[in-house]
Structure 1
Amino acid sequence: MSIAMIGKKVGMTQIFNKEGLSIPITILQIGPCTITKIIQQPNNKQIKVQIGYEYIQPDKLTKASKGYFKKQQLPCFKYLKEYKTNDIKNLNIGKVLSIEELKIGSRVTISGKSIGKGFSGYQKRHHFSRGPMSHGSKNHRQPGSIGAGTTPGRVFPGKRMAGHMGNNQVSIKNLKIISIDNHNNILTIEGSVPGKNGNLIKIYKK
């Protein structure tokens, strides 16, 4: 059964194994999340499950959002996310999902927004090589030619150029769970997770 939960990135540190080698780890605070909606269409095998995370006061939501949670007879949540699954066994509206559903050593997929780098040039964004730095060279970090001339007479879409870098949705697969703290809802993952500390992340397990 596929399970998805929402949480926040706490930070990174390292641990040492029995051989004395350092292992980079990321600390996450996951859930608890509540199932707020289950959408099952007769002609589609995939089922959509909506989960809510982080309680919020009703007066901080719009009238439509408050009415939605009131209709479901659920508390108000700040964040709502959907995920797809083929099996909803033991899943129903109002059920609370926690990290107790996960096991140490299992593999998960984590997605989040990467750190925004602002407007970046060719060398930083695409790892282009620079021009000569000698005196008289007027092409240190310039773009150079971007087109082929009269034919085709335009620049093709997708041309690698300077522009906005980072702040994209990134997913990393097969991250190993190192430890689980059920009391504090803390999960320790081997490796790095996209985003800066405090960012909202989504963890998914098949």
Structure 2
Amino acid sequence: MNVALLGKKIGMTQVFDDENRLVPVTVIEAGPCPVTQVKSTEKDGYDAVQIGYRPQKEHRLSKAALGHFKKAGVEPVAELQEFRTNGDAELSVGDILTVEKFEEGQKIDVIGTSKGRGFQGVVKRYGFAGGPASHGSMFHRRGGSYGMCQWPGHVIKGKKMPGHMGDVRRTVQNLQIVKVVADKNLILIKGSVPGSRGSLVTVRTAVKNKVAKA
């Protein structure tokens, strides 16, 4: 069964594995996530489970949201998200999902919003080499020729140019869980994940995990 949890990125650190090798890890505080709604193909047209994260004060929510939580019998939360289950979910409204749904060595996907870099040029945004740095070239960190004079007479769609960098939704696939600390709702994941410290992330079972053939 596919499992997903909402969480918060704590930061990065390093741990030693069983073979005394240094492993860089990202610490994520995931869950507990109450199940607020279960959707089915017969009623909603598709199978999905809606989960919540991070307790929220009632006066910060709308009456519609409070009614939704009251119907589910769960405490109000600040974040809501749903994930597909393909009809194999053994979950009910009111269930609490925790990091115990995951185990060490498991492959997962992490979804988050990358850090915003503001307006950047092509050298930082795309890694352009730039031009000569001296001898009066007057061409240092520019992008070069962007369009054509006669035909087609405009900049081709998709041309790499200066612009807003970062602050986009990104998914990193097939990351490995190094350790699960259930009593503190922590997951230690090998490598880096999108987002800044404190940002919202989604941890789910890897959808493209390739199992090695014997």
Interval containing the TM-score (normalised by the shorter chain)? over 0.9
Aligned residue type for 1:69: F
| Alpha-carbon distance in structure 1 between the residues aligned to 2:61 and 2:194 | 28
Residues 94-173 of structure 1 correspond to what in structure 2 (within 5 A)?
94-173=94-173
**CA distance change for structure 1 residues 61 and 18 in 2, over 3 Å: closer, same or farther?**
closer
Q: What is the CA-CA distance between 1:179 and the residue it aligns to? A: 1.1
User: What is the match of residue 86 of structure 1?
Assistant: 86
Matched, 1:62 2:67: no
| Alpha-carbon distance in structure 2 between the residues aligned to 1:68 and 1:16 | 44
Residues 12-31 of structure 1 correspond to what in structure 2 (within 5 A)?
12-17=12-17, 20-31=20-31
Q: Specify the SS of the correspondent of 2:100.
A: helix
Q: Specify the SS of the correspondent of 1:70.
A: helix
Cα deviations by residue, 1:34-79 (Å, 9 ceiling, x for unpaired): 1111121239985121101111111111222122222333221100
Of the structure 1 ranges 196-205 and 153-162, higher mean CA displacement relative to structure 2 is found in: 153-162
What residue ranges of structure 2 are gaps of 5+ in the alignment?
Answer: 207-214
Paired residues of 2:128 and 2:143 also in contact (CA < 8 A): no
Aligned-residue CA RMSD in angstroms?
Answer: 1.8
User: What is the match of residue 35 of structure 1?
Assistant: 35
| Alpha-carbon distance in structure 2 between the residues aligned to 1:16 and 1:73 | 42
Cα deviations by residue, 1:113-136 (Å, 9 ceiling, x for unpaired): 111111110101011111111222
Cα deviations by residue, 1:118-164 (Å, 9 ceiling, x for unpaired): 11101010111111112221111123210122211111222110011
| Alpha-carbon distance in structure 1 between the residues aligned to 2:184 and 2:175 | 21
User: What is the match of residue 212 of structure 2?
Assistant: none
Paired residues of 1:178 and 1:190 also in contact (CA < 8 A): yes
Cα deviations by residue, 1:163-199 (Å, 9 ceiling, x for unpaired): 1111111111111111111111111111111111111
Q: What is the CA-CA distance between 1:20 and the residue it aligns to? A: 4.5
What residue ranges of structure 1 are gaps of 5+ in the alignment?
Answer: none
Q: Specify the SS of the correspondent of 1:117.
A: strand
Of the structure 1 ranges 12-21 and 143-152, higher mean CA displacement relative to structure 2 is found in: 12-21
User: What is the match of residue 193 of structure 2?
Assistant: 193
Paired residues of 2:130 and 2:143 also in contact (CA < 8 A): no
Aligned residue type for 1:157: K
Q: Specify the SS of the correspondent of 1:111.
A: strand
Aligned residues: 206
| Alpha-carbon distance in structure 1 between the residues aligned to 2:199 and 2:84 | 23
Of the structure 1 ranges 122-131 and 10-19, higher mean CA displacement relative to structure 2 is found in: 10-19
TM-score, normalisation: structure 1: 0.93
Paired residues of 1:45 and 1:86 also in contact (CA < 8 A): no
Paired residues of 1:30 and 1:99 also in contact (CA < 8 A): yes
